[in-house]
Amino acid sequence: MKMKVLWMYHDIMDLYGDRGNIQVLKKRCLDRDIEIEVDTCGINEEKNLSDFHLIFIGGGADREQGLLYEDLVNRKQDILDAIDAKSFVLLICGGYQFFGQYYIDNNNREIQGLGIFDYYTKSNPNVGRCIGNIEIEADLDGKKVTVVGFENHGGQTMNVTTPFGKVVSGHGNVYQGEYEGFYNGQVLGTYMHGPLLPKNPEVADFIIKKALSKEYDNVELKPLDDTLELQAKEAMRKRMHAKKG
């Protein structure tokens, strides 16, 4: 088997170690003798998004998001075609926001999103910033898993009908919210940096399986020794609960 990954705006959208997600995917594939090819796509580069099993966009600050906005909007049909072709899409923070209807910033300026999904994001100076470690209970196509990460966003994302998970500790889509992220079976958007995948091997494997299923039937992944990864997750959970208590 071979998995082709496209890392979009790798040179701009890489906040809080989001590149670590790519490194984890590489390692977990190679440890299973699954060939993995990671390509990158910058502004004005021509790529056929439908050729890839997985498309990844990391997070960035408002300035970085502004730099790539026009290029991303011009790729909307290519993105829709890739989704129709069953490519899996992983979006972190700013990437997640872009796929919604719009974003209203601190200056009350409205920036149109791709409008692929119904959610939207508004900056609200009347509530606190969503920052700190976060734990959620996610449902990965019927499998309940605990997921941990780090969030830091001022935007409040609303009208999410299919969240990634229920908040256990932290904020999520909105300040002191109940739910985090977005997941519809093929696109996963989340505010979790840190990066997301090193402490959440179940999520990494879930993404690998979903991506490979574009081309291969009945994908089964060889189990790996996740002792260290799960210890790191548990240590983070203990810190959060001790602080909460």
- Residue 11, pLDDT score: 86
What are phi and psi for residue 225, nearest 5 degrees? Answer: -80, 105
Average pLDDT over residues 133-142: 95
Q: Which two tokens stand for residue 210?
A: 């979903």
- Containing domain of residue 93, as a range? 2-244
Note the pTM of the prediction, 2 decimals.
0.95
DSSP state string for 215-229: T-SS--------HHH
Q: Is the pLDDT of residue 148 over 70?
A: yes
User: Is residue 193 annotated as a catalytic residue, yes or no?
Assistant: yes
pLDDT given for residue 245 in this prediction: 56
93 is an active site residue: yes
Residues 164 and 206: their CA atoms lie apart, in Å, by 13
Paired tokens of 149: 């990460």
The answer to whether the CB of 104 falls within 8 A of the CB of 197 is no
- Is 109 within any annotated ligand binding site? no
Say if residues 239 and 135 touch (Cβ distance below 8 Å): no
Please count the structural domains in the chain.
1
Pairing of strands 143-153, 155-158: unpaired
Which two tokens mark 71?
């290029």
Mean pLDDT score, 62-71: 77
Q: What is the pLDDT of residue 13?
A: 79
Conformational region of residue 106, where left means phi above 0, alpha means psi within -120 to 50, and beta covers everything else: alpha
pLDDT at 50: 98
Domain of 197, CATH number, reads 3.40.50.880
Choose the catalytic residue: 93, 130, 153, 171: 93
Which listed residue (10, 53, 153, 193) is catalytic?
Answer: 193
